[in-house]
Structure 1
Amino acid sequence: MRVSGVGVRATVFLSESDTWHGKSLCHHVVGEAQRLGLAGATVSRAVEGYGASTVLHTDRLLSASDDLPLVVTVIDSEHRIRHLLRELQRPLDGRMVVLDTVTVLRGPAG
């Protein structure tokens, strides 16, 4: 593995029920990242979590939760991440986004 540079990781915390103009908000975030040409985006579904409401959402069978937490992760240059977040300012209003600096490693192409 070799260091290919320093980037910024944006971690966006959502839930399955979050929407923007009738579309899943996580799909909107990924679509905007793709439209802007960012390096990539990943959506992960959590098995359990709670947010500002302190209501616990879990995938445990007996709880039958259909509103699990989602995390969208996007890594690119700081400039491109900040541009994405400006484009998503209204859709992400009130949601938590965490930015951190990361070292990007790349393996040999194969």
Structure 2
Amino acid sequence: MVETNEAYLLRIYIGDSDRYMGKPLYKFLLEFFRKEGFAGATVLRGISGFGKTSIIHTASILRLSTDLPIVIEIVDKIEKIEKVLPVLKDVVKEGLITIEKVGVVFYNGNKKDNQTLTP
């Protein structure tokens, strides 16, 4: 049987052109999560997508987009995630933020990182 630890996945959907304090929003958020001591964060650039406005943004050569979808994913303890939600509400002006419970099957970071996700 595989042992799992409980954690939470914070997922932030924004656009490539979103900015905060003069820099791309995804870069600001990545640096912010690092300073806050999160176990890790990943920024993913989508090849196509649409949001509330239903405008399709795509990386197609025929139709170049300046606002490709960006997803930032963070897995950590719920206490750490809840602590930063007020900041995210102020910083993410357009986008979507979700939180879901996940089971961590395997995480092999340094000793400091492993302590972050272990109950």
Superposition TM-score, scaled by structure 1 size: 0.90
**How many corresponding residue pairs?**
109
- Give the superposition deviation at 1:67: 1.1
- Are the counterparts in 2 of residues 13 and 96 from structure 1 also a CA contact under 8 Å? yes
Partner of 2:24: 24
- Are the counterparts in 2 of residues 2 and 107 from structure 1 also a CA contact under 8 Å? no
Code of the residue aligned with 1:43 in structure 2: it is: V
- Give the superposition deviation at 1:106: 1.3
- Are the counterparts in 1 of residues 15 and 95 from structure 2 also a CA contact under 8 Å? no
Which has the larger helix fraction?
A: 2
40-49 or 90-99, which deviates more: 90-99
| Cα shift readout 1:8-37 (whole Å, capped 9, x = no counterpart) | 101100011000111111111111110010
- Give the superposition deviation at 1:4: 4.8
- Are the counterparts in 2 of residues 32 and 84 from structure 1 also a CA contact under 8 Å? no
- Give the superposition deviation at 1:45: 0.4
Which has the larger strand fraction?
A: 1
| Paired residues for 1:1-80 under 5 Å | 2-80=2-80
Superposition TM-score, scaled by structure 2 size: 0.83
Using the aligned pairs only, state the percent identity. Answer: 27
Unaligned runs of 5+ in 2: 110-119
Unaligned runs of 5+ in 1: none
Change (3 A) 1:107 1:15: closer
Alpha-carbon RMSD across the aligned residues, in angstroms, is: 1.9
- Are the counterparts in 2 of residues 14 and 71 from structure 1 also a CA contact under 8 Å? yes
- Give the superposition deviation at 1:84: 2.1
Q: Which runs of 4+ in 1 moved over 6 A?
A: none
